[in-house]
Amino acid sequence: MDVLGIDIGGSAIKGAPVDLEAGRLARDRLRIETPQPSAPKAVAGVVRTIVAHFEWTGPIGVTFPGVVVGGITRTAANVDKRWIGIDADGLFTEATGCPVTVLNDADAAGVAELTFGTGKGRGGVVLMLTFGTGIGSALFMDGALVPNTELGHLEIDGKDAEHRASAHVREVKELSWEKWAERVEDYLRRVDALFSPNLIIIGGGVSRKSDKFLPFIDGVTAEVAPAALHNDAGIIGAAMAAKADQA
């Protein structure tokens, strides 16, 4: 069964139908830059464009970079603040004419990784971290998700961790991979001390370049490994959530 997944990020919105038996994209994904400002109606317009591109008429899963409770977006750290308190399920359902399930972006990526990727079959505490415009997190205990953890906002040296160690910060400050790895290591040590995970999965676009920075990371008790699904994990997890919601 294929289900359309759409992943909303601070810099881009990506979507594709997903083969949920194989755990991979069924077609090449469509990527559109996130509107600036990223107001709800503007983002809904991009989601509608992606749905039309694939001529989609069935259930849709959509991720959001913030806390999502019962389809309501509660925070908006890296998108327009007008998202706070919005009925995102209703907004996207109206925009597309399809039933839509909205969930936190890192939670979606984590569920996909634990089902089809690096975390498959792993018990105990597993932490998925996505490095992009910000830092997203998904925390699992024996495969059960603790939703909306938002650990990218832990304070390190007086700042949100994502303001020091996100992939966006590396690009803006033109940090070398080694220098950026030092910041990432500081953050990983913090979450390692707080949660004692067995495994930390590094996701987001940088997971494709893990050989450039993971060798510089030391001093973390947990096993640290790149996401197998790379930047497609959010799309796949969104589709999984939509299917589960329709069951």
Claim to verify: residue 126 and residue 212 sit in the same structural domain? yes
Q: How far is CA 25 from CA 3, 17, 130, 189, in A?
A: 10, 6, 19, 33
Q: Within a domain: residue 166?
A: yes
pLDDT value at residue 209 = 97
Establish if 218 belongs to a structural domain.
Answer: yes
Question: Could you tell me if 128 and 168 lie in one domain?
Answer: yes
Residue 164 lies in a domain: yes
175 shares a domain with 150: yes
137 lies in the same domain as 156: yes
Number of structural domains the chain divides into: 2
Write down the pTM of the prediction: 0.97
Amino acid 59: pLDDT: 97
90 lies in some domain = yes
Q: Let me know whether 98 and 132 are in one domain.
A: no
Q: Are residues 102 and 136 in the same domain?
A: no
State the pLDDT at residue 201.
98
| Residues 136 and 221 grouped into a single domain | yes
pLDDT for 1 equals: 82
CATH of the domain at 217: 3.30.420.40
Please provide the size of the chain in residues: 247
Note whether residue 113 is domain-resident: no
- The encoded tokens of residue 154 equal 């832990």
128 shares a domain with 98? no
Asked whether residue 145 is assigned to any structural domain, the reply reads yes
247 residues of the chain, pLDDT tens digit each? 899 999 999 999 999 999 999 999 999 999 999 999 999 999 999 999 999 999 999 999 999 999 999 999 999 999 999 999 999 999 999 999 999 999 999 999 999 999 999 999 999 999 999 999 999 999 999 999 999 999 999 999 899 999 999 999 999 999 999 999 999 999 999 999 999 999 999 999 999 999 999 999 999 999 999 999 999 999 999 999 999 998 6
- Do 204 and 155 share a structural domain? yes
Residue 103 counted as domain residue:
yes
Closest among 229, 225, 209, 196 to 111, alpha carbons compared: 229
Both 156 and 96 in a single domain?
no
Determine the structural domain holding residue 96 and report its residue range.
2-107+232-246
147/218 same-domain check: yes
Q: Are residue 71 and residue 133 in the same domain, yes or no?
A: no
133, 163, 195, 231 from 12: Cα distances, Å: 10, 19, 31, 11
Looking at residue 246, its pLDDT comes to 84
Number of other residues whose CB lies within 10 A of the CB of residue 144: 8
- Kindly state whether residue 114 falls inside one of the protein's structural domains: no
